[in-house]
């Protein structure tokens, strides 16, 4: 059973995400201590709070966390957690982990935030995180999206009011999803199981360092 660190920025309820991971067979520890988090089998960065609050919790540990992820610690960033994988955000001052080059910016849509279900489009041969999902819809609650400098890091896209943006990204064994799998019914739970399969090594690891 994988030991999963669910990092707590001190900004919200993590109950549904913890339950989703536990349903996939993980043993979840909620922690606000980076030393404890990086000693687990994998790290999950949840989608609650603001970028500013999250980077305050990260402050002084950016390089340590980035090096752990580059060294192969599996990580799943959800919504805000995905955005934290980038160096900076328009939402607030501070420095993110900087694992994926690019920038987080506000949606250019008329209606912000985006709230509700939206289609997720992946390649015909999807990344292992999206295995067995096919075409699916996921639940979004976001005002910001990620501009990715390296297009090969994008593994899925969505569209909102005519604007396309990354729905999911990957580098090494770290993934980010802009939607909330814990609120996305059966497809979301399958995605969490896919992540845990990568942590456990029960599926082939993704090739390359995108």
Active site (catalytic) residues: 79, 180, 182
The per-residue b/e assignment along 47-66, b for 16 or more CB within 10 angstroms, e otherwise, is: bbbbbebbbbbbeeebeebb
Taking the alpha carbons of 203, 44, 22, 187 in that order, is the dihedral positive or negative? negative
The secondary element (H helix, E strand) that includes residue 51 is helix 51-58
Contacts of 73 (CB under 8 A, 6+ apart): 38, 42, 43, 173, 174
Number of H helices, E strands in the chain: 6, 11
Longest CA–CA span in the chain (Å) reads 45
Give the DSSP letter of residue 206: P
Residues 6+ apart with CB under 8 A from 186: none
What is the rounded CA–CA span in Å between residue 122 and residue 133? 9
- CA–CA dist 42, 204 (Å, integer): 17
């Amino acid at each position: 059973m994988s030991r999963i660190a669910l990092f707590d920025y001190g900004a919200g309820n993590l109950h549904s995400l913890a339950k989703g991971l536990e349903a996939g067979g993980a043993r979840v520890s909620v922690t606000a201590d980076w030393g404890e988090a990086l000693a687990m089998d994998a790290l999950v960065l949840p989608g609650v709070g603001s970028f500013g609050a999250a980077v305050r919790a990260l402050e002084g540990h950016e390089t340590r966390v980035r090096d752990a992820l580059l060294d192969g610690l599996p990580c799943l960033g959800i919504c805000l957690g995905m955005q934290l994988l980038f160096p900076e955000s328009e939402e607030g001052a501070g420095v993110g982990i900087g694992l994926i080059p690019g920038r987080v910016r506000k949606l250019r849509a008329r209606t912000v935030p985006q709230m509700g279900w939206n289609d997720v489009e992946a390649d015909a041969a999807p990344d292992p995180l999206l295995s067995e999902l096919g075409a699916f819809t996921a639940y979004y609650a976001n005002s910001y999206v990620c501009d990715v400098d390296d297009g090969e890091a994008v593994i899925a896209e969505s569209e909102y009011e005519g604007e396309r943006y990354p729905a999911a990204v990957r580098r090494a064994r770290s993934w980010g999803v802009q939607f909330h799998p814990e609120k996305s019914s059966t497809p979301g739970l399958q995605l969490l199981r896919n992540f845990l399969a990568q942590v456990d090594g029960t599926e082939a690891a993704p090739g390359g360092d995108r």
